[in-house]
A and B are shown apart, each in its own frame.
Chain A
């Protein structure tokens, strides 16, 4: 049983790392602020969730696992707020984005 959770935890960590890589690639390659925000918030938060889930199931006790879940929730909220603020600022400064996809809501 212990081995299975260890294996599952390791797999989740690798999947999370994959999402983070995808998110970073998106930030580097996407053309404008809005699509970069997509990559950053969606992919990175999913990656963070996978990493923390992998850590939580191999955690030593429930209190540590609970703290990890709390960290994920806090990161989600902070990331969403930051994304909204960055998007709002970008919208205010340049109402039309380069690719014409200005539906930043």
Chain B
């Protein structure tokens, strides 16, 4: 049995789950299937030798996104006479959808087939420049040394997203007043998990310079920690001073931008890290980014919650 059998099974399962979840009218079920889809996708990343992407997908792609969907699905209940049911899908829309899907499939297949089947891509170029970047892991080098500009803008996008959510919310204050007392077991679990998660996040952050890991993976763990603490009622946004919240959210973009400005002034090119201090600068940026990503992921979920409604049944986020 060739080694690719598991890949065929995995790819087929991914397509099957996607087909089921995209057609499902029950949003809670669709959200749960989406989480399963994300986790299977993470396994596909491992099969494709992309461990950094796998960790990020499992935590952010499946975890946080799935949580956003579950939260929305649970709260967007019908009001009044239950006219919630989605309109029956008209035949016209189905035909249009199928036509668009076929067009995309044909176009995409044509584009893929036109590509060379065997190529080294940019790997040789990256490999010969990694020693100059200050870190040893190629993905981290690309992320924070060669394509640092993209990463800076990405962190800024996260911040802009949060700002947008806060602007759209009806109530300005974010608070999580529970309808009933927080469950003591969950609170104990959250308190016990906190130091472990902080340690694990720090470890992943430090590991990123020599192996799979880095700022976003660490940030995902910190985000999970924040959500756990907030959902357990232990430490929510209501108890953290606003200045601290803003500092945490802005730290990543701020530090990154500072480094960019600094290098622009001293070197003439933005984010051209000096080879002597490259590792230290990267580590500083990564730490700030991890804190910001954690705060932002927490804020993404928590800020969208309305103030007066109590907490939904808290879920044990994956540790």
Contact = CB atoms under 8 A, between A and B. Distances in A.
Q: Do A and B bind each other?
A: yes
Interface of A: 74-75, 77-78, 81-82, 84-85, 88-89
Contacts of B316: 78, 81-82, 85
13 contacts: A74-B196, A77-B319, A78-B189, A78-B316, A78-B318, A81-B186, A81-B316, A82-B316, A85-B185, A85-B313, A85-B314, A85-B316, A89-B313
Contacts of A88: 183
Nearest to A82: B316
Contacts, number: 27
B71 to A, nearest CB: 15
B183 A77 contact: no
Contact of A74 (B183, B186, B315, B319): B319
A99 to B, nearest CB: 22
A85 B316 CA distance: 8
Given A85-B183, A88-B183, A77 B313 contact: no
Interface in B296-319: 313-316, 318-319
Contacts of B315: 82, 85
A75 B318 CA distance: 8
- For chain B, the bracket of interface size reads 10 to 19
Nearest to B316: A82
A85 B319 contact: no
B196 A84 contact: no
Given A74-B196, A89-B313, A81 B318 contact: no
Nearest to B188: A81
Nearest to A90: B313
Contacts of B319: 74-75, 77-78
A20 to B, nearest CB: 14
A74 B185 CA distance: 15
B196 A81 contact: no
A85 B188 CA distance: 13
* Chain B CB within 10 Å, residue with most, of A75, A81, A82, A89: A81
Given A77-B192, A81-B185, A81-B186, 7 more contacts: A77-B193, A78-B189, A81-B316, A82-B315, A85-B183, A85-B186, A85-B314
B239 to A, nearest CB: 22
A89 B186 CA distance: 13
B187 to A, nearest CB: 11
B176 to A, nearest CB: 17
B33 to A, nearest CB: 14
A70 B315 CA distance: 22
- A-B pairs with lowest CB-CB distance, top 5: A82-B316, A89-B313, A81-B316, A81-B189, A78-B319
B273 to A, nearest CB: 31
Contacts of A78: 189, 316, 318-319
Contacts of A82: 315-316
A77 B185 CA distance: 11
A37 to B, nearest CB: 13
A78 B232 CA distance: 13
* Chain A CB within 10 Å, residue with most, of B183, B193, B315, B319: B319
Interface in B265-319: 313-316, 318-319
Nearest to A84: B185
Nearest to B185: A84
A99 B186 CA distance: 28
Nearest to A74: B319
A21 to B, nearest CB: 14
Contacts of A85: 183, 185-186, 313-316
B170 to A, nearest CB: 27
